[in-house]
Structures are given as structure tokens and as C-alpha cells.
């Protein structure tokens, strides 16, 4: 165990107090002292600092059983902002959120082409616009990026994004343009963070988040910590082989899970069967709801393939929750029960009640919200509480 020196202890107490306030919203200093086992004078000193910084305020008196009425300290979620940026198929999306992850402003811009110059220029424009919406006295805590590939966080680089044909996308110059901290994260890790902090898997011990978009990615919370692996490359679940002589994947292999279970695969299977050329998931869903046989067939096969990968993950990780995110989560009513049935059908290891398989409740925003809360989590130091 590492001994904490006085300044570390103070910093740690500060983090714990902010975290408690962000959860409890309104609390007295005595409550804080009791709940966190920190002395009242120390709590008072830290609260005074937080009041000066505008993160909390005094909000009236609590009732008292005798003696002086204690002052209520109130958390102010709109005292700071954060920005999340997501690189999607053909577009960049950006959001401005408050400390609760509530979206205050949302921007979306189509990419003229998928090149380093165009992607970075578009991101810069969107960040500038969102920064200009921040009140001068309310500091922006930073920008988080949710990116579809392997990330080199230290060198601020997107190393490799197979489905975008993008390599070595450098964010250092972009960081130099803005005087705030910036964080790069794989989109599935960002989504996992959002589900774990804000979504259905809030504070659960073991969570797998499956991000379904152009490809399929995974983010893992294991024993209440995000697991990224030794080179921070864990979670490439879309490239698990489910059919060794199967479809050709953008990674160069055959039969990767995402060639069957991605949103792109679903749309392309539908187009192949119907000789149509739809581009959006909602077109396939509409056809399904209209009882069109090809759409029903394609969805049935899709759900079977999705279930195969989910079973593999379940056997390896034994999670409490598996959350499926991406646009598909908006249509959980047509996927959910059939998927759960497939996953637990002939499954001698798990019964339905053992693992919760849910579709994200964040309306397709898990990845970008996860990106937006990284500067908050890092800025307040919640990662190592």
C-alpha cells in the first residue's frame, strides 16, 4: 500500500466529496463528514473551495432536532460543461453536456470525404461552435472523442480504424488549437462508460457493452473497473471468428462476427435479398413492421448470428449485464425477445435470469455521452476513488 501524503489526502477527500454531492445532490456538511468519515473542519474547508469555484452552493437550512440548523449544500450540475465528439459513418457528431451528462446542445455534420484533413477540420468546427456556447464563467472541462478503432491515448492518435480506412489520425494539432484537456477513447469503451455511469448498468460490477454500428466493438467493466488490456486494445469482439470460412472482413480475416452482426451487415443482407439499395436501418425495420417476408428472414438470421457472439462473451466473462448499444437499440421491441430466446435456447450454462441482456436506454447516444463524460470523470479524478 502506498502511503498518501497530506496533499494527496486532501485531493482524495475533495474527489470523494464531489462524487457524493453529485449523487446525493443536497446534503449537509455533517452528513458528508459521517458518510465519508472526513472531519467536519476538513469538509468545511473543501466545501468553501467548491462554493468559490461555483460547483456547489448553500441552499437553505435543513431541519434540526435541536441546536443550530445545518446548512444544506447543493450540487450545481450546470456549473461546468463538457464536450463529446463521435466519428460515425460519414459524419461527425458533437454534444455539449453538463456535469450530469444532460445534452445541452447537439451538432451533426456530414463529412465530404473520409480523410484525415476533412475529419479533423470538421471536428474543429464543431468544437469551436460548442465552445462558443459555453458561458464565460462556466469552464469547459474538456473534449472527449469516441472513435471507431484502436487508440494510442498517450500519443493522441487513432491508430487504425478498419471500417473507415483511416490510419494514424493525429489529434495533437487539434489539441493545440483548444486550451482544454482532450481524451481519445475507443467508441465501445466510451459507450461502456456511459452505460455504467448514466445508463441501465449504473454501478453494476461486471458489464459488457456491445457497440453495434459499422462494425461491432466491446467495452468491459470488470469488478467495477474498465478493462482495456495490456496494450489497451481489448474489446475487438467484432473480429471474433464465428465462421472460419465465412465472409471476408475489412481486417483481412474471414468470418468475423461483425461481418454478420454489424448494422452494415444487416442492411447489406437486406439489400442483397431484395435487390434494393436502402441505406438506413429504419428502412429495414419499416419493412419488417410491414410484415415483408425478406425483412423478416434477414432479421431472423441476423438475430441468430448476434446471439452466437453474445453466447461466447457470456461464457468467457460471466457478466451481470450485457448492454447492446447503437442505433439498433432504438428498435429493441423487435430484437429483444427473439435475441434473448436465441441466447438461452439450448444453453446449459446459463438461464435467462442469470444475465440481463438489455438494449441501451440512451437512445443511440451511449458512445458520444461516454466521450463527453470522460473529461468530467478525469477532471474530478473519479477514476481512482
Q: Which residues bind Zn ion (CB under 5 A)?
A: 239, 249, 251, 253, 256
Q: Which residue has the cell 428498435?
A: 331
Q: Least distance in Å: CB of 159 to Zn ion?
A: 16
Residue 257 · residue 242 · CB < 8 Å: yes
User: 60 or 252, CB closer to Zn ion?
Assistant: 252
Q: Which residue has the cell 436501418?
A: 281
Q: Least distance in Å: CB of 257 to Zn ion?
A: 8
Q: Which residues contact 74 (CB under 8 A, 6 or more apart)?
A: 25, 26, 56, 57, 58, 59
Give the separation between CA 217 and CA 30, rounded to whole angstroms.
45
Burial of 72 (0-12, 13-18, 19+ CB in 10 A): middle
Residue 46 · residue 14 · CB < 8 Å: yes
Q: Least distance in Å: CB of 155 to Zn ion?
A: 24
Q: Least distance in Å: CB of 258 to Zn ion?
A: 6
The angle formed by the CA atoms of residues 158, 233 and 124, to the nearest 5 degrees, is 20
User: 121 or 253, CB closer to Zn ion?
Assistant: 253
What does the block give as the cell for 172? 495533437
User: 56 or 249, CB closer to Zn ion?
Assistant: 249
Give the separation between CA 149 and CA 147, rounded to whole angstroms.
6
Q: Least distance in Å: CB of 270 to Zn ion?
A: 21
Strand order in the sheet with 81-87: 103-110, 91-97, 81-87, 140-147, 182-186
User: 118 or 248, CB closer to Zn ion?
Assistant: 248
Q: Least distance in Å: CB of 149 to Zn ion?
A: 12
The angle formed by the CA atoms of residues 162, 358 and 257, to the nearest 5 degrees, is 30
What does the block give as the cell for 112? 465530404
User: 241 or 336, CB closer to Zn ion?
Assistant: 241
Q: Least distance in Å: CB of 85 to Zn ion?
A: 25
Burial of 346 (0-12, 13-18, 19+ CB in 10 A): exposed
User: 216 or 371, CB closer to Zn ion?
Assistant: 216
The DSSP code for 184 is: E
- Residue 186, strand partner residues: 147
User: 170 or 251, CB closer to Zn ion?
Assistant: 251
User: 121 or 247, CB closer to Zn ion?
Assistant: 247
Q: Least distance in Å: CB of 250 to Zn ion?
A: 6
Amino acid at each position: 500500500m502506498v502511503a498518501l501524503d497530506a496533499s494527496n489526502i486532501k485531493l482524495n477527500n475533495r474527489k470523494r466529496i464531489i462524487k457524493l454531492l453529485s449523487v446525493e445532490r443536497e446534503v449537509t456538511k455533517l452528513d458528508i463528514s459521517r458518510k465519508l468519515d472526513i472531519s467536519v473542519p476538513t469538509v468545511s474547508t473543501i466545501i468553501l473551495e467548491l462554493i468559490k469555484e461555483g460547483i456547489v452552493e448553500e441552499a437553505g437550512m435543513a431541519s434540526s432536532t435541536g441546536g443550530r440548523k445545518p446548512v444544506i449544500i447543493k450540487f450545481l450540475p450546470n456549473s461546468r460543461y463538457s464536450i463529446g465528439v463521435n466519428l460515425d459513418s460519414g459524419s461527425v457528431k458533437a454534444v455539449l453536456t453538463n456535469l450530469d451528462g444532460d445534452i445541452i446542445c447537439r451538432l451533426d455534420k456530414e463529412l465530404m470525404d473520409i480523410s484525415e484533413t476533412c475529419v479533423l477540420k470538421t471536428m474543429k468546427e464543431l468544437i469551436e461552435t460548442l465552445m462558443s456556447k459555453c458561458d464565460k464563467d462556466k469552464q469547459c472541462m474538456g473534449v472527449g472523442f469516441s472513435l471507431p478503432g484502436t487508440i494510442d491515448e498517450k500519443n493522441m492518435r487513432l491508430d487504425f480504424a478498419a471500417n473507415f480506412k483511416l490510419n494514424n489520425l493525429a489529434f495533437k494539432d487539434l489539441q493545440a488549437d483548444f486550451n482544454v484537456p482532450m481524451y481519445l477513447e475507443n467508441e465501445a469503451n466510451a459507450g461502456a462508460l456511459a452505460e455504467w455511469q448514466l445508463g441501465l448498468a449504473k454501478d453494476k460490477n461486471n458489464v459488457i457493452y456491445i457497440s453495434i454500428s459499422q462494425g461491432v466493438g466491446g467495452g468491459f467493466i470488470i469488478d467495477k473497473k474498465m478493462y482495456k488490456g495490456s496494450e489497451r486494445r481489448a474489446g475487438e469482439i467484432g473480429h471474433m471468428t464465428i465462421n472460419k470460412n465465412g465472409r471476408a472482413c475489412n481486417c483481412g480475416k474471414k468470418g468475423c462476427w461483425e461481418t454478420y452482426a454489424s448494422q452494415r451487415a444487416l442492411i447489406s443482407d437486406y439489400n442483397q435479398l431484395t435487390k434494393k439499395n436502402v441505406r438506413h436501418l429504419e428502412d429495414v425495420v419499416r419493412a419488417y413492421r410491414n410484415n415483408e417476408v425478406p425483412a423478416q428472414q434477414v432479421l431472423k438470421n441476423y438475430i441468430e448470428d448476434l446471439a452466437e457472439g453474445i453466447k461466447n462473451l457470456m461464457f468467457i466473462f460471466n457478466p451481470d449485464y450485457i448492454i447492446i448499444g447503437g442505433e439498433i437499440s432504438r428498435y429493441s421491441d423487435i430484437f429483444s425477445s427473439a435475441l434473448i430466446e436465441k441466447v438461452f435456447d439450448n444453453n446449459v450454462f446459463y438461464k435467462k435470469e442469470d444475465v440481463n441482456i438489455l438494449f441501451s436506454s440512451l437512445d443511440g447516444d451511449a458512445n458520444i455521452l461516454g466521450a463527453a463524460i470522460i473529461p468530467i470523470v478525469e477532471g474530478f479524478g473519479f477514476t481512482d476513488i
